[in-house]
Structure 1
Amino acid sequence: MKTKIFISHASPSENDFTKWLALKLIALGYDIWCDLLFLEKGIDFWKIIEKEIRVNTVKFLVVVSESSNKKEGVLNELATANKVKRELCDDTFIIPLIIDENLRNDDLNIELVRLSNIDFRKSWAKGLQDLIESLEKTKVPKKSPDPSKSNQLYQQIFLHNKKKIEREEIYDSNWFSIISFPSELRFHYFENLMPKNYDIRQLSFPAIRYKQYVCTFAWEYDFMEQLPKTELYNNKYSIKMSVEDVLSGQYNTEFINNLECQRLIVQLVNKAFENTMHESKLQIYQMSNKFGYWFPKGELDKDKYNKIQLVGKQRDKNWHFGISGAGKLYPFPVLMISSHIFFTEDGRKLIESKSIQHSARRKQGKNWWNDDWRNKINAFIKYLANNEDSFSLEVGSEEKIIISSASVEFISEVTYNIPEKNTLLDEVELADLNMLDYAEDDLSS
């Protein structure tokens, strides 16, 4: 009985997608064959491939891109699959999987034009969902889902040379210590002094509504220019609390509990970082729940800072290293900086297509090792700090949050051998095999 799903692809341009797809299907219980997982080097590979297609294959998946659409090896496999299709009288034997946004249906190989294809261009997760529905509809045999099997293959094939070594090593992080906060967190009773439905985000300094109050680090008089009625405000109505007590977990009252206070402080840190970045010369990208910031081409001398490249070329596109930031109070107060890569055609306007951004990001990121990411984050933060030891976030006319421009270091009791190839993005993509996530990837992944 034929049970195997054969995955045909062009190597190496489609390796990432093929590994991801193969291991996902294996985790779901399907019997998969693809050369990346099961073909040993130095053997007569064509005889093995032909036998797999003719004798064992129940469905033939062909990964379609500009490369595979004219790759000799893929075309040979497709020709064999067409013969099997006619022998089985199975019009659904060959299933094209289109992953290349630049490939139009009119450009498809003549053998694929009339076949029903599955579109992975906008979302790998949605494409996988559609593929599974097709496999179930045609009753392709499978065993019970077993994520451990695909995890085992992943460990054997992709992590075979990455074992821990018992040796102490210092690691940099993407955490930057918050050196100091203002001494007080203040709640001003502005309920009747603000216009109806006023957008508090318009205020010059970070502030958050809490009950009938405005929570902020700023003094009450810092808002007179935007809220004229506060000029006559009596500060005896303000509630003030020690930030030190809140951070130590010692502040609880009927008005507000300590955890809620800490949550408000984190929100104020995030808003202060956002305000600081928006006032800079950086470009802004709004993600689902945060902002990313990046340098336009030409803003920096030779697109570098401290000799670290932060803008560069990728064929017909420009890549732009960017960051986003978020506050964190546990286990100690820090600003966490996340890395991003954005792409433009002209150096200033982002490419709108999420799939092009995703594909270009994976390609560019594979060329960067941990040192590259670390150096770029540190260079970006040093830019914000003007090469000083710290930088500040303005949270009032007299109040600041001071943040170190040096990342937090951690000591590990173990280390590892640096692999010959940078497979970091492959491992991130393939490691979580215990469940299927059908939500479309956000551009910030």
Structure 2
Amino acid sequence: MNNLRKKIYISHANPEDNIFSRWLSLKLMSFGYEVWSDVIQLELGVDFWRTFENEIRNNTKRFLFVASWAVKQKDNALRELAVAEDTRKSMNDNDPDKAKFMIAVRYTPDLPFGKIDPVLIRTNAADFSHGWAQGLAQVLEQFDKDGITRREDGNFERVKKWWNSVYSSNNSIQSQRELYSSNWFPIKRLPEFLRVYRYRARKKLEQADIIDVYPAARMFKNSIVTFASMEEVNRLLKTLDGEVVDNVTLIPVNGIISNNHETRFMSNKETRNILIELINKAWVQFFSRAGLNKYDMANGRVCHWIPLSDHETPHEGKGQLIGVQKYKHWHFGISGSTKLYPFPAISVRSHIVFTYDGRTIIEGTAIQHRSRRRQGRSWWNAHWRDKLKCMISLVSSGEGDLSIPVGEREFLVVGTTSTQFTSEVSYLSPDHEALLAQDLTESEWDDVEPDENEEE
């Protein structure tokens, strides 16, 4: 094999897989390997194809192909793969590098390499789908076994040069205070008591499916747990021809939050989990009644989003909540989960969902995932922050706090300004335009957390 071959070539879908490919390139460079990747080296205005082909045929020691759902639609990446396979075939059969020249990087879970290109079926593989760090360790171990040339002191100057081209050269910690907004919206007021009503006709109540529509109520053993009054509960029960309740156990909400409640039939942990569940349910019902569409996500959360209006699109600029991505509509959405510590609050997460007609969610997680990455990658912190503010403001009609009913005469009040933190230092933001300029556009234009309904 050509002894001048020293580079690690990284082929990928551009721009969809740029973040991962950039990370992998910089990591390998920091370990002293000479890397070629369009997100690191390629300058605007050059002959892309001539550069790609020359690097693969003459300078590449190992060809890494980042496999993802997006790469199947990328002509450039598939052409690079074809050139790499042609280069491999041209090697002498006695060359030990021939069998190791191409490495398929498993970047997307549950994506058979053969679905992308038959060439990848018989190619060496590195698995990054269970963690980037694990995949990197696997690649580094293989490179070390293969004796691939690298600088022992790392290629830090190259990494620094690239970093400074994207980040301001004087980028550093700044000695000035800065205010940061969180996604925690404080619960300013809760009902005084959680009410537990003994009710023996549990099956009849469950069969009526009334618990799902009744404001903030749930069954616990043979009891109804809610914030609502006895009068309100009995009015509901009479419509079912069931038993009415005539006694109630009052559990102080402040005692639940401070971990000072315990009864013989319900532990403090159980009451905390029920309190969290009821607040979450009230949040979902409130946003549904406000006219937002609902999307049940795989992790059990409920995302609310604004459907496309026939007359207007809510907000513009960074606060825009609906837009167009090619032949699809994107919609900004939110989901909420209750936190009781260190203070009662709703943690509001941001999402992007996609429709064809502006009203019906596109079926298929793969389409949603690919579209979400394309759209979200061009949004920076300010975009997400402003969209979240606009969504909350829209639901509150700009009139201050959210007053969420949990019974006819019971409400919980959530502030519309998120909790803010002050830092004694600041930093300069990256040059976003320089970063995006490296993401070549072949086409037009981003939650895994444990279940938060239960506390540890």
TM-score by length of 2: 0.71
CA shift at 1:325, angstroms? Answer: 0.6
- Give 1:88's aligned residue: 95
2: CA distance between counterparts of 1:185 and 1:424? Answer: 52
Report Cα offsets for 1:246-297 as digits up to 9, x if no partner: 3334333444343433322111110111122233321111112111111111
SS at match of 1:125: coil
Tell me how many residue pairs correspond in the alignment.
412
Contact preservation (8 Å) 1:284, 1:293: yes
Task: Decide which moves more: 174-183 or 88-97.
Answer: 88-97
With over 3 angstroms needed to count, the CA separation of the structure-2 counterparts of 1:116 and 1:131, relative to structure 1, is farther
Task: Decide which moves more: 321-330 or 222-231.
Answer: 222-231
Tell me whether 1:207 sits opposite 2:212 in the alignment: no
CA shift at 1:340, angstroms? Answer: 0.4
Tell me whether 1:241 sits opposite 2:251 in the alignment: yes
SS at match of 1:265: helix
For 1:35, which of 10, 14, 37 is the aligned residue? 37
Contact preservation (8 Å) 1:4, 1:30: no
1: CA distance between counterparts of 2:38 and 2:269? Answer: 50
2: CA distance between counterparts of 1:418 and 1:39? Answer: 22
For 2:340, which of 329, 334, 339 is the aligned residue? 329
- Give 2:453's aligned residue: none
Contact preservation (8 Å) 2:332, 2:350: yes
Tell me whether 1:346 sits opposite 2:357 in the alignment: yes
SS at match of 1:410: strand
1: CA distance between counterparts of 2:85 and 2:339? Answer: 53
CA shift at 1:99, angstroms? Answer: 8.3
The sequence identity of aligned pairs, in percent, is 29
Contact preservation (8 Å) 2:26, 2:159: no
Task: Decide which moves more: 76-85 or 276-285.
Answer: 76-85
CA shift at 1:181, angstroms? Answer: 0.9
- Give 2:407's aligned residue: 396
CA shift at 1:442, angstroms? Answer: 6.3
CA shift at 1:163, angstroms? Answer: 3.2
Tell me whether 1:176 sits opposite 2:178 in the alignment: no
Tell me whether 1:18 sits opposite 2:21 in the alignment: yes
Tell me whether 1:272 sits opposite 2:282 in the alignment: yes
What letter corresponds to residue 211 of structure 1 in structure 2? K
1: CA distance between counterparts of 2:84 and 2:342? Answer: 55
Task: Decide which moves more: 220-229 or 401-410.
Answer: 220-229
2: CA distance between counterparts of 1:257 and 1:422? Answer: 55
2: CA distance between counterparts of 1:298 and 1:85? Answer: 64
1: CA distance between counterparts of 2:259 and 2:129? Answer: 42
- Give 2:390's aligned residue: 379
Which aligned pairs between 1:81-160 and structure 2 lie closer than 5 A? 81-84=88-91, 88=95, 90=98, 93-95=101-103, 114-116=119-121, 125=129, 141=145
Contact preservation (8 Å) 1:65, 1:99: no
For 1:419, which of 421, 430, 453 is the aligned residue? 430
Report Cα offsets for 1:51-72 as digits up to 9, x if no partner: 7865772555366444344788
Contact preservation (8 Å) 1:10, 1:71: no
Contact preservation (8 Å) 2:11, 2:77: no
2: CA distance between counterparts of 1:107 and 1:194? Answer: 49
Report Cα offsets for 1:95-119 as digits up to 9, x if no partner: 566989xxxx9998xxx6555278x
Report Cα offsets for 1:300-355 as digits up to 9, x if no partner: x5211598421111111111000001111111111111100111111112222322
With over 3 angstroms needed to count, the CA separation of the structure-2 counterparts of 1:252 and 1:66, relative to structure 1, is closer
- Give 2:439's aligned residue: none
With over 3 angstroms needed to count, the CA separation of the structure-2 counterparts of 1:197 and 1:268, relative to structure 1, is closer
Aligned-residue Cα RMSD (Å) equals 5.0
- Give 1:435's aligned residue: none
With over 3 angstroms needed to count, the CA separation of the structure-2 counterparts of 1:378 and 1:115, relative to structure 1, is closer
Task: Decide which moves more: 289-298 or 183-192.
Answer: 183-192
Contact preservation (8 Å) 1:207, 1:268: yes
Contact preservation (8 Å) 1:8, 1:34: no
1: CA distance between counterparts of 2:305 and 2:122? Answer: 37
2: CA distance between counterparts of 1:41 and 1:423? Answer: 11
For 1:61, which of 56, 60, 65 is the aligned residue? 65
Contact preservation (8 Å) 2:292, 2:305: yes
What letter corresponds to residue 300 of structure 2 in structure 1? N
TM-score by length of 1: 0.73
1: CA distance between counterparts of 2:119 and 2:8? Answer: 21
With over 3 angstroms needed to count, the CA separation of the structure-2 counterparts of 1:364 and 1:12, relative to structure 1, is closer
Long gaps (5+) in structure 1:
144-148, 426-440
2: CA distance between counterparts of 1:278 and 1:218? Answer: 20
Report Cα offsets for 1:374-425 as digits up to 9, x if no partner: 1211111112212211122221121111111222222111211121117999
1: CA distance between counterparts of 2:421 and 2:342? Answer: 13
